[in-house]
Amino acid sequence: MNEQLLSTLNAIVASATPLVIASLGETITERAGVINLSLDGSLALAAMLGFAGALVSGSVIVGITVAMIAGALVALLIAFSSIKLRQDQVAVGFVLTLLTADLAQFFGQEYTRIPGETIGRMALPILENIPIVGRVFFDQNPLVYFSYLLAIGLWFWLFRTNAGLAHRAIGERPEAAFARGTRVTRLRYFYTAVGGALVGLAGAAYSLNTKPGWANPPSMQGDGWIALAIVIFGGWHPFRVMLGAYLFTMLRAISANIQRDGLVLFGQEIEFNFILLNMLPWLLMIITLLLVSSGSVERLVQVMPRPIQRRLRAFLRSNPPDALGVRFDEN
Amino acid sequence: MKSKRTTSKPHFFALALAMLLLIVYGFMAWFEDDFEIETEQFGTIDVFAMPYDIVQAQIEEQEYWDFGTTLSLLPTESLLIPIAGFFAVGLGIWSIFQPEREALISNLFVVAGLIGLAYYVLAVLGNSELISNEGFGFRLSFLICIGLIAQRFIPNDVRFAIGSVFLSMSIAFVVTTLLVLALGKPPFEVVENVWEGAFRNNSSVAKVVNFWIPLTLVSMGLVVTFRAGLWNIGIEGQMMAGAVFASGVALFSTEDQAGFIIPLSIVMAAVGGMIWASLAGILKVYLGVNEIFGGVALNALMDVLAIFLISSPWQPEIGGSAQGTEPFPEHALLPDFSPDFQVNMPMLVFVLLASIAVVVALRGTRWGLNLKAVGKNPRSALLLGVPTGRTAMSAFLVCGALAGVAGSYRVLFSFDNLRPLASGGIGFLGLLVVLLVGMRGLWVPFIGFAFAALLAGSTKLRLALQLDSSVVEVLQGILVLLILLFNGIRQVYFSDETPPESDQPLAEEVTS
């Protein structure tokens, strides 16, 4: 394989990582039955705080910690208002989307367009020598490795452990889980905070690695919504969510590439205003949501050969946790 | 109303203490002339004018002013005022949450405390002539009397609502002040600048009105969609669609079409908004794509489309860039009311008429009832024979039309060409307004005016104080968030009836 393609793929994996971490975090939250709609804003706030924290303290670890705390606090606010105060998660989440984005802009005004700390690349000793795969996946920064571990760990947690079963149960049938002795409310707070902290980590990944620094408007504007859509596209399953994030990023990389270099098809330069290519991620978002929500998937499955139908259906299924966004009172 | 008085002991003592403080503070205000004290640094100073005097002296001496030094210089007597004020506000708020009779005096405390705080702020701000020797104490007691009388006529839940609005506003202001202080900017100058930016003279008021017109239009549209239980986040895109359609008509008009070109472009803007809203509606109603995600994607698509139009087909011939199209010809622009007050009067009238029409339609027509039924419970509405799909679509279309007209006002009046992000976040601000008023259309124009004033006033901050204008958006966001939280507190802790079902299966709504 040629070197240019390998480095492009490497860059795609690297720049997809914040999206992967954010959507996995949201998966954790939504699996527990809470929707954290504030992603688009809390990513920006976490990115800004992470960058400023790292710059002021001179340590990336501090920046990441600050960002994670911020993300967790925003998420906890949503959990609190829905669990304790019985407010609409969507309303509170939307207000927080705007508020956190404004806060990021407000506090970030002193930190715009200045250089700061970044997370460096760190190749994994043995794995990087695997041909192709090593170059693409294991010559990366630590956050990328963390995202692999997170996806695998989350899958194992959700589908192979008892505690993970309880995690899914409070998102599907909180009454049943409660009857079996699970502390639904407490766990919902916990998982929302964990998911929020991961969103914060994703924000820090933007400002400390993917596109270092802080700018207004922030570079990750819109990514929060895409992450939310990816969770749906991924059917709340860690691996599919991860795949979705990579697909979206690949599409974006292709369209950015074409905008930069022009498009040559069949030996001919295509004359076209490539700004319209910026529509692609959003069109893809609508199309994927259309596919998973309108029953087209089922029709698609039915025209497939019978032997693979069952597996395909299992793979493409996208059912939200039954109690997603549904309030549950313990008493 | 029969009510048994059950005052717990700590509650009683707290009340008594607050009363005492309030009386002391009231008397101090009453006999303010007698309260002159000796200070080492500045000689004899009136307790009530003192903050102002100290600030002045400090500015003369050090040529700058900072809040910390002023606080450290103030003698304890004068600190009594804000302490009493804070205490009264806090206690008043606390007793709002108490059932029955204790709640009766709550507003009194809130009002009195807020007056005290406002007084203090004014003193430090420097408008001491406003308050010195003008019988402040008299005004205070007058207001207290009004408050007491008003108490008897206000039902409990309304009083709670007023109390939580007051409380939310105070907290939002305090938090924002702390944020501003954290950046090392003077908070009072921020307030002053925003106020001046909004109300200094006719032209700044006109600027407020020019924000208010599109804001009220989109908010009224959003009241309709919210009534149908729909989260029309696509409102920004619908505004932009209106702006693009209006620009299309205005750009290619000629002089001899002058008579009908303006109505035509506004109608086309409404059509554009409806088209974009209908896309969100079709996705939601017939294809099951949640309107939040559909709306967000459609917003982004419209933004890209506008940038494409500006940078490619509608590019100005000279100096083409992505900044904006060529200015529209004069006959296509909405005319000013007068050079002193640059507002388009027909549009102002239209906004008022549209607002009234929406309120009336929601309250008094079958359509309004259908919308409400669909919003409350789509399934039972369907069983009762309400055409749910068509009703939801109609809500989207009405909202889209209003948003389109709002967008056209932005390009045909506020600007004179089409530029990227011409909607300027007004659509999202409209969502905040509607959440704040709890979807009651009647309140929209008033809250909308306050928000528009903040928006218009904030434009001066960058120049005057090197402060990002997002500070007012932060304030608005905190305010709306607190209102939502207080709604929750009221429903959970202070409501006899069971709270309205806010736990309808959101899962279907948000994720399908």
Contact state of B502 with A86 under an 8 Å Cβ cutoff: yes
Q: What is the pLDDT of residue B137?
A: 44
Q: What is the pLDDT of residue B378?
A: 85
Place of tokens 């620009």: B247
Tell which wins on pLDDT, A266 or A152. Answer: A152
- Over 80: is that where the pLDDT of A198 sits? yes
Tell which wins on pLDDT, B340 or B448. Answer: B448
Tell which wins on pLDDT, A184 or B64. Answer: A184
Contact state of A232 with B503 under an 8 Å Cβ cutoff: no
Q: What is the pLDDT of residue B495?
A: 61
pLDDT tens digits for range A240-299: 999 999 999 998 888 888 877 776 666 666 666 677 888 888 898 888 888 777 666 777
Cα of A92 to nearest chain B Cα, Å: 7
Question: Among candidates A233, A79, A35, which has minimal Cα distance to B505?
Answer: A35
Q: What percent of chain A clears pLDDT 70, i.e. is strictly above it?
A: 94
Q: What is the pLDDT of residue B384?
A: 87
Mean predicted confidence (pLDDT) in B31-45:
53
Other CB atoms within a 10 A radius of the CB of residue B121 amount to: 18
Q: What is the pLDDT of residue B358?
A: 94
Bond before B82 cis per omega within 30 degrees: no
Question: What's the full length of chain B, in residues?
Answer: 512
Tell which wins on pLDDT, A301 or A188. Answer: A188
Cα of B236 to nearest chain A Cα, Å: 13
**What is the C-alpha separation between A298 and A286, in angstroms, rounded?**
18
pLDDT tens digits for range B284-316: 988 888 888 899 999 999 999 998 888 878 877
Q: Kindly indicate the confidence band of residue B8, based on its pLDDT and cuts at 50, 70 and 90.
A: very low
Q: What is the pLDDT of residue B183?
A: 83
When the pLDDT of each residue in chain B is averaged and rounded to a whole number, the result is: 76
CB contacts, 8 Å: B474 with chain A: 99, 102-103, 106
Pick the range with the lowest mean pLDDT from A70-79, A142-151, A185-194, B256-265. B256-265
Instruction: Determine how β-strand B36-39 pairs with β-strand B43-46.
Output: antiparallel
- Over 80: is that where the pLDDT of B283 sits? yes
Quote the tokens at residue B157: 């839940």
Question: Among candidates A24, A65, A266, which has minimal Cα distance to A151?
Answer: A24
Quote the tokens at residue A254: 């292709």
- Over 80: is that where the pLDDT of B282 sits? yes
pLDDT tens digits for range A5-35: 888 888 899 999 999 999 999 999 999 999 9
**Closest chain A residue to B498, measured at CA:** A86
Pick the range with the lowest mean pLDDT from A44-58, A144-158, B120-134, B223-237. B120-134
Question: Among candidates A233, A203, A237, A235, which has minimal Cα distance to A220?
Answer: A203
**Closest chain B residue to A319, measured at CA:** B512
Question: Among candidates B231, B203, B199, which has minimal Cα distance to A91?
Answer: B231
DSSP state of A112: B
pLDDT tens digits for range B87-139: 666 666 665 565 554 444 555 556 666 666 665 565 555 444 444 434 444 44
pLDDT tens digits for range A105-127: 999 888 888 888 888 888 888 88
**What is the C-alpha separation between B448 and B462, in angstroms, rounded?**
23
CB contacts, 8 Å: B234 with chain A: none
**What is the C-alpha separation between A297 and B481, in angstroms, rounded?**
39
Q: What is the pLDDT of residue A155?
A: 94
Q: What is the pLDDT of residue A221?
A: 87
Q: What is the pLDDT of residue B128?
A: 45
Mean predicted confidence (pLDDT) in B401-430:
90
Give the closest of A99, A110, A320 to B507, CB-based. Answer: A320
Q: DSSP secondary structure string, A199-244?
A: HHHHHHHIIIIIS-SB-SS-TTTTHHHHHHHHHHHTTT-HHHHHHH
Q: What is the pLDDT of residue B156?
A: 61
Cα of A151 to nearest chain B Cα, Å: 21
- Over 70: is that where the pLDDT of A96 sits? yes
Give the closest of B183, B289, B489 to A286, CB-based. Answer: B289
**What is the C-alpha separation between B23 and B361, in angstroms, rounded?**
50
Pick the range with the lowest mean pLDDT from A142-156, A202-216, A312-326. A312-326
- Over 80: is that where the pLDDT of B155 sits? no
Q: What is the pLDDT of residue B329?
A: 84
Tell whether A112 is within 8 A of chain B (Cβ).
no
| Element housing B310 (H / E) | helix B291-311
Q: Kindly indicate the confidence band of residue B499, based on its pLDDT and cuts at 50, 70 and 90.
A: very low
Contact state of B311 with A275 under an 8 Å Cβ cutoff: yes
Specify whether the CB–CB gap between B112 and B140 falls below 8 A. yes
CB contacts, 8 Å: B301 with chain A: 279, 282-283
Amino acid identity for residue B379 in this structure: R
Q: What is the pLDDT of residue B90?
A: 63
Tell which wins on pLDDT, B502 or B375. Answer: B375
**Closest chain A residue to B468, measured at CA:** A106
pLDDT tens digits for range B210-261: 999 999 999 999 999 999 999 999 999 999 999 999 999 988 888 777 778 8
B4 φ, ψ (degrees, to nearest 5) = -90, 135
Query: Which of B155-159, B235-239, B322-326, B508-512: highest mean pLDDT?
Result: B235-239
- Over 90: is that where the pLDDT of A73 sits? yes
Specify whether the CB–CB gap between B461 and B190 falls below 8 A. yes
Tell whether A88 is within 8 A of chain B (Cβ).
yes
Q: What is the pLDDT of residue B260?
A: 85
- Over 60: is that where the pLDDT of B80 sits? no
DSSP state of B290: -
pLDDT tens digits for range B443-481: 899 999 999 999 998 888 888 888 888 889 999 999 999
Within 13 Å, how many C-alpha atoms sit on residue B354's CB side? 27
| Element housing B488 (H / E) | helix B470-493
Contact state of B499 with A92 under an 8 Å Cβ cutoff: no
Give the closest of B300, B477, B487 to A87, CB-based. Answer: B487
Q: What is the pLDDT of residue A119?
A: 85
Q: What is the pLDDT of residue B4?
A: 39
Radius of gyration of chain B measured on its C-alpha atoms: 27
Tell whether B435 is within 8 A of chain A (Cβ).
yes
Question: Among candidates B298, B436, B413, which has minimal Cα distance to B345?
Answer: B413
Quote the tokens at residue A324: 């997603």
Beta bridge partners of A269: A264
Q: What is the pLDDT of residue B288?
A: 83
When the pLDDT of each residue in chain A is averaged and rounded to a whole number, the result is: 87
Give the closest of A109, A276, A285 to B293, CB-based. Answer: A285
Amino acid identity for residue A54 in this structure: A
Mean predicted confidence (pLDDT) in B319-330:
75
Q: What is the pLDDT of residue B151?
A: 52
Radius of gyration of chain A measured on its C-alpha atoms: 21
Cα of B474 to nearest chain A Cα, Å: 6
On whether the pTM is more than 0.90, the answer is no
Tell me how far CA of residue B57 lies from CA of B52, B54, B73, B188, B201, in angstroms: 9, 5, 11, 18, 31
Looking at beta carbons, which pairs linking B180-188 to residues 24 or more positions away fall under 8 Å? B180/B467, B180/B471, B181/B67, B183/A106, B183/A107, B183/A109, B183/A110, B183/B467, B185/B465, B185/B467, B186/B65, B186/B66, B186/B67, B186/B465, B187/B67, B188/B121, B188/B124, B188/B125
Q: What is the pLDDT of residue B508?
A: 44
Q: What is the pLDDT of residue B142?
A: 47
Residue A187: partners with Cβ closer than 8 Å, 6 or more residues away: A32, A166, A167, A170
In chain A, positions 264-323, which contact chain B (CB-CB < 8 Å)? 273, 275-276, 278-279, 282-283, 285-286, 289-290, 293-295, 320-323
